[in-house]
Amino acid sequence: MLLTALQKNLLNNYQQDFPLSPRPYLEIATTLGITEDEVLALFKDLSTQGFISRIGLVIQPNTIGVSTLVAMKIPAPQLHKVANIINQFSEVNHNYQREHEFNLWFVLIANDPPHLNQVLISIEKQTGFKPLNLPLLDDYFINLGFQMALDDKS
What is the total count of domains within the chain?
Answer: 2
pLDDT per position as a tens digit, 96-111: 899 999 999 999 989 9
Q: Exposure pattern of 69-95 as b/e (b: 16+ CB <10 Å)? A: ebbbebeeeeeeebbeebeebebbeeb
58 occurs within a structural domain: no
Q: 70 and 122, same structural domain?
A: yes
Average pLDDT over residues 31-46: 95
Of the listed ranges 7-11, 51-55, 66-70, the one predicted with least confidence: 51-55
* Alpha helix positions (H), the chain: 5-14, 24-32, 36-48, 79-87, 113-127
The verdict on 78 and 27 lying in the same domain is: no
The answer as to whether 147 is a domain residue is no
In this structure, is residue 79 part of a structural domain?
Answer: yes
User: Mean pLDDT score of the chain, rounded to an integer?
Assistant: 87
Side chain identity, residue 116: L
H helix intervals, 15-66: 24-32, 36-48
Question: Is the residue at 121 inside a domain?
Answer: yes
Q: Which domain holds residue 77?
A: 66-135
| 144 found inside a domain | no
Residues 79 and 127 in one domain: yes
pLDDT digits (tens, 9 = 90+) for 126-146: 999 999 999 877 766 655 566
Residue 140 located in a structural domain: no
* 44 within some domain: yes
In a domain, 149, yes or no: no
